[in-house]
Amino acid sequence: MTNQDNFTKFINKYPHPHLAYFNRPHLSRRSFFNVAGAGLGGAWLLNREADACTVQTAQKVTTKNTAKNVIFVLMTGAPSHTDTFDLKVINGTTPAAMNPTTFGGTNWPVGLMPKMAQQLGKMTLVRSVRSWALVHSLSQTWTQIGRNPAAALGNIAPNIGSIVAIEKDPQRQPGQIFPAFLALNSAGGIGNGYLPANYAPFRVAPNAAGLPNTVNTLGQTPFNTMYSRLHQLDDNLRRNSPLGAPMDDYDAFYASAQQLMYNSPVASAFSFPGSESTRYGSSSFGNACLVAKQVLAANQGTRFIQISLGNWDMHQDIYGAQNPKGNNLFNLCPQLDNGMSALVADLDQAGLLNQTLIVLAGEFGRTVGPVTPAGGRDHYNQQSVIFIGGGTRGGKVIGTTDATGSDTTDFGWSRQRYVRPEDVEATIYSALGIDWTTVRCDDPLLRGFEYVPFSSQDLYGPINELWA
Amino acid sequence: MTNRVKRTVPVAAALILATTAGLALLPAQSLFGPELPSDPICTRFLSMGRQIPGDTGGGSVASPNAILLGRLTESITGQLPVAEVSPGGSRTSTAVNTANLGLVDQYIFSALESAGIQPAEQTTDWEFIRRVTLDLTGRIPVPARVLSFVSDTNPAKRTALVDELMASSTWVDKWTIYFGDLYRNNSANTQIRRSPGGVTAFHDYIRASLQQSKPYDQMAKELISTQGTDSYKTGEINFNVGGVVTGGPVQDVWDQQTANIADTFLGVAHVNCLLCHNGAGHLTTLSLWGGQQARVAAWGLSAFMTQTYTQAFLVPPANNVYYWSIIDTNAARGPGKYSLNTTTGNRPQRQPIGAVTAVTPAYIFTGEVPQAGENYRQALARMVVADPQFARATVNYMWAYFFGVGLVDPPDTFDPLRLDADNPPPAPWTLQPSNPRLLNALTTAFIANKFDVKWLMRTLVNSQAYQLQSRYNGQWNVAWNNSFGRKLVRRLWAEELHDAIAISSNSVPTYNTTNYGVINYAMQFPEPLAVPDGLAGKVSGFLDSFLRGNRDDEVRSGDGSILQALNLMNDSFVMTRTSPSTPVSALLPSNIGKSNTDLVNTLFLAVLSRYPTAAELATASTNLANVQTRNQEAQYLLWSLYNKVDFTFNY
């Protein structure tokens, strides 16, 4: 029996990952009370130690610990892997304008993504990835939480970024005032789950003018006067409040919010000139990449940045044969190419690429071979995931698919089975030095929340080949 | 399933949430080792105390109407006003009247007495009308009603106000949102789409049920058992549509529909656990009942769904959205039994147990089976509403909403074997409710009153316990939060804040929504909508920041955040409504000509539903004194009121 067969057998028998209560690690429970008040993306000013309980690990593992930060690009709608990162040239189907080119054995559509082609040496293409499901919202959630959303705790599971935020909270330095988890163009993204609100994604749609609502329309000096008037009137209710502790907590949020206002690191990291936006491709995705770079360069405590880039769900006219101006690969890929290539180049130049792991993933792939009668591609399990930087080696391909890209022929990594979202999750944690077998004991059902499901059975794990 | 938890539990209740959910019953050693670890955070918090500020800020009561206040004070306390800090322009709070305790109060106050906890004082009329209007209707009271209420000399005016509020259309608005949250009425969840057509039908069903004061057992029966061929037309079938899961066999769908019913109507979320595995070894230390249950018993519950087919149909001609049908059939499409024949899907494989290859319906809590020829889902609905646990869970959900923490909390973690005070569970288990006899009495009375939700609300909000102040003049121990010796504050819902800002400023926006027509008040949204604001760009971000949730994987939450503070301080939705001149704002331009005292009083009354204290009036008047900067200072004042914690919270 192969590893994949064993894995399939196990997962069919135990699709619901969680630890039973009595198997949970011995715990020392702290009160949620103080953490609950600590803040959205802003706990840093209040409770550095805000860890709701002592976490334990399922196994002794060695993490890679080569990355400080993660940029997670979620390509929603699911990109066609065989037209992009696992390019298969099909006579009569693949448009010549895609300019398929081979770089040391790796096919790449230079016509779609010319700039990223120049950076293949920094990139690892993992082509043996297989999604679990083919429903957009379900699989997008799966990708962001690294587990089955229908599983126990699945509907209250935190975003991977929230786990990173709570794990990295103790490393926050005095004076660092940015949220740990920043979500750019990710309005519908998964939030903090059951974790306190201070580990929720700080959701921003990048804007040249900067972070919304960090300036007041009346101006700074009037605002300061107004703010002092508020305290003059309200301190007897918001400081040592006779009405209860939540009032004091709310005042602390105000204090943190005021620090974000008229603050030059905040203003310079979140705003940008038109020339820079142009360099990143003049798209909302490009602007998000630009802000991500500026935020990491500011070194203000942000550790996980999620960026969403949508419109990959090309059931019709994927090559723009019928409507060149419609939503097709020739119009969407340049956004990715311009933004991502500028981000990689700038991080590299700033010496940040080595400590920043960039992950690009869709929620699944698309059908292979000739396009459908509608000229598009439908949902399909096989997909690719790309890793850049963060101490990974780059310049390689992991996993091989068959001639059409419909299935994996060589898994290309030590576990000798498909790479799953849970493995990508474990890879992110390992890169950041977070033990992916950690079990939290603060979940509301008191069942034990595993960072990566089935950690006690070692079912999933990092793709260590990225570093080899 | 536990996403019901945050929905009803404010920040202040979280400690209780963390310490009562089954942990307290265990001997310390088995969980914590030889000794309990010290908890520096908790200790630090407790040591902070809740001191009353030393400076109460002034000696006399500020009011434009001393006669009114004098009369008011006499009518309530027979005493002169007591000088106090805000809130409450007058302090007319009183001690609890222990002579005539009702259904709720006899249990609460005897528990407080035996625990040695001094209850807070009773609310002033100013505090009460704001609190109960927000809780029942989601709106702040209009100034004229505040004044007429406090000057009303009718000794029964509080119960009269409660009846008035529950007869209003705003009561229907608010509770349509509450039940929309509970039933998770949204156009798309992680698994499936209901589409706006389904949301509208479901929303209309909830509204109509509330308007008709439909008994809650009837509502539950309809939601559990109604059949329909079009989810855009038969709103109530959208409840079971929410149980559809993809990527597995039909048993996965039946299981999720069953789990939703057990969670929503019985408060027993652990049924969901049992649908995957036996309770032994999994729930053994979490639920006395759950630990004794086998997966096959949960399958027996799920088997009530096995005549049921939930199907999607594309809507022509575009064929890009779909509607649902939920139809029961015995013969044509299926066996009407729960086959043990799955190896893949979202839940562990279902395989024959000996010679048993399929499971037939049996109610997990009693073993009762359908009568001959009885439709399975109708049988289930009948058994659910006849189960005292149905009334108990409903009472507890309501209690959790009005009091900030459930008698069993989280409210969907009921352990059926740990509820009876006359039949306590064996050691080391303890009774689960914080006040089991109160829960029992409310449950019995709710049944006797024919599952009348308005009766239940009236009983809760007319109690002295509900009418206690949140203000506590002494050292409060957070461990007392589930004793209900003071009212726990809650941050206003996103919709409540939106509407309170709009109403108080006389600047109600108009939203031309894509799917639901023109809507003015956030409390009338059929689901958490992304809305354009013709006045100030998108307000969705403003609403989202107050954690209204998405009725799927983001739950409504009362947490605070920095983003909330940034938005309240700077968002154009607020700023345009504080302006002394722009056309958006009506409040300041129409009152700016008043004298300083009148202006301050008017603004306080409009925004905070009370008059300022003497100290507040003096401070504000001083700031307004310079005619050169008066307009500016008036805006600062109004802005400050919108940013005061007694605006942001229901206290």
pLDDT digits (tens, 9 = 90+) for B144-198: 999 999 999 999 999 999 999 999 999 999 999 999 999 999 998 878 899 999 9
- Range with the poorest average pLDDT among B77-91, B436-450, B456-470: B77-91
Put simply, the answer to whether A245 touches B12 (Cβ < 8 Å) is: yes
Looking at residue A97, its pLDDT comes to 97
Chain A 241-260, CB below 8 Å of chain B: which residues?
241-247, 249-251, 253-254, 256-258, 260
Q: B320 and chain A: CB distance < 8 Å anywhere?
A: no
Least Cα separation, residue B471 to chain A (angstroms): 4
pLDDT above 90 (res B456): yes
More confident residue, B27 or B274: B274
pLDDT above 50 (res A414): yes
pLDDT above 60 (res A19): no
CA distances from A224 to A216, A219, A254, A262 (A): 10, 9, 13, 10
Looking at residue A330, its pLDDT comes to 97
**Which structure tokens are listed for B29?**
């050693």
Looking at residue B48, its pLDDT comes to 27
**Which structure tokens are listed for A84?**
């992009």
Least Cα separation, residue B44 to chain A (angstroms): 10
Question: Where does B199-297 show beta strands of DSSP type E?
Answer: none
pLDDT category at A252 given cuts 50, 70, 90 is: confident
> pLDDT tens digits, residue range B354-407?
999 999 999 999 999 999 989 999 999 999 999 999 999 999 999 999 999 999
Looking at residue B434, its pLDDT comes to 94
> Which residues in chain A have their CB less than 8 angstroms from residue B8's CB?
none
Q: Can you tell me the mean pLDDT for B307-327?
A: 91
Q: What is the spatial distance between Cα B80 and Cα B82, in angstroms, rounded to a whole number?
A: 6
Put simply, the answer to whether A190 touches B639 (Cβ < 8 Å) is: no
> pLDDT tens digits, residue range A306-352?
999 999 999 999 999 999 998 999 999 999 999 999 999 999 999 99
Q: What is the spatial distance between Cα B577 and Cα B598, in angstroms, rounded to a whole number?
A: 19
CB B300 within 8 A of CB B364: yes
Q: Which of A203, A230, A249, A302 to mutate to test the interface with B (most CBs of B within 10 A)?
A: A230
Looking at residue B93, its pLDDT comes to 62
pLDDT category at B92 given cuts 50, 70, 90 is: low
Looking at residue B282, its pLDDT comes to 76
Q: Can you tell me the mean pLDDT for A398-404?
A: 97
Q: Is the peptide bond before B317 cis (omega within 30 degrees of 0)?
A: yes
Q: Which of B260, B475, B545, B561 to mutate to test the interface with A (most CBs of A within 10 A)?
A: B561
Looking at residue B617, its pLDDT comes to 97
Q: A14 and chain B: CB distance < 8 Å anywhere?
A: yes
> Which residues in chain A have their CB less than 8 angstroms from residue B554's CB?
191
C-beta atoms surrounding A232 within 10 Å: 16
> Which residues in chain A have their CB less than 8 angstroms from residue B638's CB?
none
pLDDT category at B535 given cuts 50, 70, 90 is: very low
Q: Can you tell me the mean pLDDT for B291-315?
A: 94
Looking at residue B84, its pLDDT comes to 37
Q: B374 and chain A: CB distance < 8 Å anywhere?
A: no
Percent with pLDDT over 90 in chain A:
70
Least Cα separation, residue B611 to chain A (angstroms): 13
Residue of B261, B375, B395 lying closest to B327 (CA atoms) = B375
3-state secondary structure chain A: CCHHHHHHHHHHHCCCCCCCHHHCCCCCECCHHHHHCCCCCCHHHCCCCCCCECCEECCCCCCCCCCCEEEEEEECCCCCHHHCCCCCCCCCCCCHHHCEEEECCEEEECCCCHHHHCCHHHEEEEEEEECCCCCHHHHHHHHHHCCCCCCCCHHHCCCHHHHHHHHHHHHCCCCCCCCCEEEECCCCCCCCCCCCHHHCCEEECCCCCCCCCCCCCCCHHHHHHHHHHHHHHHHHHHCCCCCCHHHHHHHHHHHHHHHHCCCHHHHHHHCCCHHHHHHCCCCHHHHHHHHHHHHHHHCCCCCEEEEEECCCCCCECCCCCCCCCCCCHHHHHHHHHHHHHHHHHHHHHCCCHHHEEEEEEECCEECCCCCCCCECCCEECEEEEEEEECCCCCCEEECEECCCCCCEEECCCCCCCCECHHHHHHHHHHHCCCCCCEEECCCCCCCCEECCCCHHHCCCCCCHHHHC
- The alpha carbon dihedral of B633, B634, B639, B640 has a sign of positive
Put simply, the answer to whether A28 touches B349 (Cβ < 8 Å) is: no
SS3 assignment, position B226? coil
Percent with pLDDT over 70 in chain B:
83
C-beta atoms surrounding A238 within 10 Å: 23
More confident residue, B31 or B529: B529
Q: What is the spatial distance between Cα B1 and Cα A128, in angstroms, rounded to a whole number?
A: 34
**Which structure tokens are listed for A130?**
């297989």
What's at A373, amino acid-wise? P
pLDDT category at A177 given cuts 50, 70, 90 is: confident
Looking at residue B6, its pLDDT comes to 30
> pLDDT tens digits, residue range A60-90?
899 999 999 999 999 999 999 999 999 999 9
Chain A 253-312, CB below 8 Å of chain B: which residues?
253-254, 256-258, 260-261
Looking at residue A16, its pLDDT comes to 60
More confident residue, A43 or A300: A300
Specify the residue for token string 């292979």.
Answer: A368
C-beta atoms surrounding B52 within 10 Å: 17
Looking at residue A131, its pLDDT comes to 94
What does the DSSP 8-state code read for residue B424? P
Put simply, the answer to whether B21 touches A250 (Cβ < 8 Å) is: no
Q: B318 and chain A: CB distance < 8 Å anywhere?
A: no
pLDDT above 70 (res B464): yes
> Which residues in chain B have their CB less than 8 angstroms from residue A212's CB?
541, 566, 571
Looking at residue B83, its pLDDT comes to 34
What pTM does this model have?
Answer: 0.80
pLDDT above 80 (res B73): no
Chain A 108-147, CB below 8 Å of chain B: which residues?
132-133, 135, 137-138, 141
pLDDT above 80 (res B534): no
More confident residue, B285 or B120: B120
More confident residue, B228 or B50: B228
Q: B564 and chain A: CB distance < 8 Å anywhere?
A: yes
Least Cα separation, residue A128 to chain B (angstroms): 21
Residue of A266, A270, A244, A268 lying closest to A256 (CA atoms) = A266
Looking at residue A203, its pLDDT comes to 85
Residues contacting residue B61 through CB under 8 Å, at least 6 positions apart: B69, B81, B83, B89, B90, B91, B613, B614
Q: Give the angle B489-B494-B497 at the CA atoms, nearest 5°.
A: 75
pLDDT above 90 (res B532): no
Average pLDDT score over chain B: 84
Q: B32 and chain A: CB distance < 8 Å anywhere?
A: yes
More confident residue, A107 or A205: A107
Least Cα separation, residue B375 to chain A (angstroms): 29
pLDDT above 80 (res B13): no
Q: Can you tell me the mean pLDDT for B303-319?
A: 91
pLDDT above 90 (res B610): yes
More confident residue, B287 or B50: B287
pLDDT category at A58 given cuts 50, 70, 90 is: confident
Q: A200 and chain B: CB distance < 8 Å anywhere?
A: yes
pLDDT above 70 (res B333): no
Put simply, the answer to whether B478 touches A245 (Cβ < 8 Å) is: yes
Average pLDDT score over chain A: 88
> Which residues in chain A have their CB less than 8 angstroms from residue B285's CB?
21-22
Residue of chain A with shortest Cα separation from B629: A222
Q: Which of B23, B544, B562 to mutate to test the interface with A (most CBs of A within 10 A)?
A: B562
What's at B190, amino acid-wise? T
Put simply, the answer to whether B245 touches A232 (Cβ < 8 Å) is: no
Nearest to A234 among B246, B557, B645 (CB): B645
Q: Can you tell me the mean pLDDT for A427-435?
A: 97
Specify the residue for token string 């009148």.
Answer: B598
Q: A51 and chain B: CB distance < 8 Å anywhere?
A: no
Put simply, the answer to whether B565 touches A26 (Cβ < 8 Å) is: no
Q: What is the spatial distance between Cα B140 and Cα B500, in angstroms, rounded to a whole number?
A: 6
Q: Give the angle B410-B407-B491 at the CA atoms, nearest 5°.
A: 65
Q: Can you tell me the mean pLDDT for A191-218?
A: 87
> pLDDT tens digits, residue range A118-148?
999 999 999 999 999 888 888 999 999 999 8
Looking at residue B369, its pLDDT comes to 96
Looking at residue B72, its pLDDT comes to 33
> Which residues in chain A have their CB less than 8 angstroms from residue B191's CB?
135, 137-138, 150
More confident residue, B15 or B137: B137
Q: B1 and chain A: CB distance < 8 Å anywhere?
A: yes
pLDDT above 50 (res B441): yes
Nearest to A229 among B52, B541, B640 (CB): B640
pLDDT category at A154 given cuts 50, 70, 90 is: confident
Nearest to A22 among B284, B544, B565 (CB): B284
Residues contacting residue A70 through CB under 8 Å, at least 6 positions apart: A161, A164, A303, A304, A305, A356, A357, A358, A359, A390, A428, A431, A432
Q: Can you tell me the mean pLDDT for B450-470?
A: 97
Q: Can you tell me the mean pLDDT for B27-36?
A: 29
- Range with the poorest average pLDDT among A247-256, A288-297, B296-305, B371-380: A247-256
pLDDT category at B313 given cuts 50, 70, 90 is: very high
Looking at residue A152, its pLDDT comes to 67
Looking at residue A55, its pLDDT comes to 66
- How many residues belong to chain B? 651
